[in-house]
Amino acid sequence: MFIMPGIYKGMKRGPQVIQPKDIGIIISFTGIGKESVCVDAGTGSGWLAVSLARICKEVYSYDVREDFIKIAEKNRNMFGLSNLFLKKGDVTKSIKERNVDLVTLDMPSAEKALSSAKRALKVGGIVVGYTPHMEQAKAFVMKLNSLKFRDIMTVEVIVRDIMIRKEGVRPSNTGLWHTAYITFGTKT
Ligand SMILES: C[S@@+](CC[C@H](N)C(=O)[O-])C[C@H]1O[C@@H](n2cnc3c(N)ncnc32)[C@H](O)[C@@H]1O
């Protein structure tokens, strides 16, 4: 059985959320911490935005939909996070922040937001694309190449639940399998 950390149990859900297994690798592979400033889009239910704001200095999270921002607002307020700023806006058109450490993109056609993301990032800053389909991951990587990002890597996080019982030890035949392909790129 998969453990859902307590912090996520009371959180509201609107659109599909990023699961804790994927949030973990986003945090560890980008190396963000208490000095980091991040931009996130789309906010959706704010699961990733809240997780980032719990460990970073500031998080600016954009969504085009007011109704989803309201759900995320409830989740933000549950944790009293005054460093999480929820903004209405289309990140394919613009991201206002500059010199940020991380931009996370979990939205359809995420590659269309990469030019804005590049302008927002500092040199050495990292962009993350969260794409459910391989074709979307490919489009994201092609655009990263054309924008001259470096250290491009796409991964999938597969967590296997191992059942340990008297009669035998084996992986469970159920569980959370595919969620998304996660691509990382560094601004040059
Ligand atoms: C799957 S949800 C994000 C879930 C979120 N990462 C979480 O962990 O709860 C995708 C969101 O992207 C938003 N979106 C779609 N296009 C967008 C755009 N161009 N700019 C900003 N947000 C966008 C949608 O409204 C939707 O809320």
* pLDDT reading at 2 higher than 90: no
CA distances from 107 to 33, 36, 65, 85 (A): 24, 22, 12, 18
Question: Does residue 149 sit within a domain?
Answer: yes
Instruction: Look up tokens 């990733």; give the residue.
Output: 48
Nearest one of 145, 137, 127 to 186, comparing CA atoms: 127
Pocket, ligand 1, Cβ cutoff 6 A: 15-18, 41-42, 44-48, 62-65, 68, 90-92, 106-108
* pLDDT reading at 6 higher than 90: no
pLDDT of residue 145: 98
pLDDT of residue 27: 98
Q: How far is the CA of 78 from the centre of ligand 1 (A)?
A: 20
Question: Does residue 97 sit within a domain?
Answer: yes
Q: How far is the CA of 171 from the centre of ligand 1 (A)?
A: 33
* pLDDT reading at 71 higher than 90: yes
* Best probe residue, ligand 1, of 39, 106, 107 (max atoms within 8 Å of C-beta): 107
Nearest one of 21, 22, 75, 29 to 53, comparing CA atoms: 75
Question: Does residue 1 sit within a domain?
Answer: no
* pLDDT reading at 167 higher than 70: yes
Task: Identify the domain containing residue 46 by its residue range.
Answer: 6-186
- For the chain, the first-to-last Cα distance in angstroms comes to 42
Rounded Cα gap, residues 142 and 107, in angstroms: 17
CATH number, domain of 68, equals 3.40.50.150
For the chain, the domain total comes to: 1
* pLDDT reading at 4 higher than 90: no
Which structure tokens are listed for 18?
A: 């990023």
Question: Does residue 96 sit within a domain?
Answer: yes
pTM > 0.95:
yes
Give the tens place of pLDDT for each residue, 22-63: 999 999 999 999 999 999 999 999 999 999 999 999 999 999
Order the strands of the 84-88 sheet from edge to edge: 84-88, 58-63, 37-41, 100-105, 121-131, 181-186, 150-155
Question: Does residue 182 sit within a domain?
Answer: yes
Q: Whose CA is nearest to atom 18 of ligand 1?
A: 90
Rounded Cα gap, residues 74 and 153, in angstroms: 34
* pLDDT reading at 1 higher than 70: no
Ligand 1 atom closest to Cα of residue 92: 19
Give the tens place of pLDDT for each residue, 95-151: 999 999 999 999 999 999 999 999 999 999 999 999 999 999 999 999 999 999 999
SS (H, E, C) 116-146: HHHHHEEEEEEEEEEECCHHHHHHHHHHHHH
Which structure tokens are listed for 122?
A: 């500092």
Q: Tell me the mean pLDDT in the region 74-102.
A: 98
